């Protein structure tokens, strides 16, 4: 098993990650949702379908 070095970045070195999701057949960034829809997105549960 390989060991990974822990990399620490300063806040100014970080890049914001934009999260997109599929809504009604098309993709939209979660940041464009209204506050209620953003809260709903945070509560979603994801699953892996068994083969």
Q: Is the pTM here over 0.85, yes or no?
A: no
Confidence class for position 51, pLDDT limits 50, 70, 90: confident
Helix (H), strand (E) counts: the chain:
1, 2
SS3 49: coil
Tell me the per-residue pLDDT of 1-50, one tens digit each, with 9 for 90 and over.
Answer: 456 788 898 999 999 899 898 877 889 999 999 999 999 989 988 888 88
pLDDT of residue 23: 76
Retrieve residue 36's tokens.
């209620």
Residues whose CB falls within 8 Å of the CB of residue 41, separated by 6 or more in sequence, listed in order: 21, 30, 33
Alpha carbon separation from 12 to 6, 7, 9, 36, 39 (Å, rounded): 18, 14, 8, 30, 27
- The DSSP element (H or E) to which 43 belongs, if any, is helix 35-43
């Amino acid at each position: 098993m390989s060991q990974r070095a822990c990399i620490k970045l300063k806040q100014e070195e970080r890049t914001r990650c934009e999260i997109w999701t599929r809504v009604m057949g098309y993709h939209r960034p979660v940041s464009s949702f209204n506050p209620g829809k953003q809260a709903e997105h945070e509560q979603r549960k994801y699953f892996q379908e068994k083969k």
